[in-house]
Amino acid sequence: MLIKLPLCNWPKCPCYPRYVYYDAKIDEWLRFPTGETKEVIHENMTTIYVMLACMSQNCRVRNIRNQATVELLHPIWNDLRKEIPL
């Protein structure tokens, strides 16, 4: 039986501030890479993955859903996808 989730009320859902926060953070991490950068990224990967998963499946805005779906195709998520299948 499929459980129909309520659509995420973008931009009033928790994904939105999270996305804005990580969007800037990822830029910063990539622009000023330090020895800790890899570790910090690794620590935040699951949160970002789950956020993108919610966006790609539940977001009421089609563009956001599509964008998140495309971002989830990146091979960077392959390991997490095995742990947390969508």
Which of 8/72 has CB closer to Zn ion?
A: 8
Q: Coil, strand or helix: which one is 84? A: coil
Looking at residues 8 to 37 of the shown chain, list those that interact with Zn ion (rule: CB under 5 A): 8, 13, 15
Q: d(Cα 37, Cα 40) in Å, to the nearest integer?
A: 5
For 65, the token pair is 């859903």
Are 20 and 48 in contact, with CB atoms under 8 Å apart? no
> CB 36 → Zn ion: shortest distance, Å?
29
Site string for Zn ion, 42-61 (x = CB under 5 A): ------------x-------
Q: Give the residues lining the site for Zn ion (CB under 5 A).
A: 8, 13, 15, 54
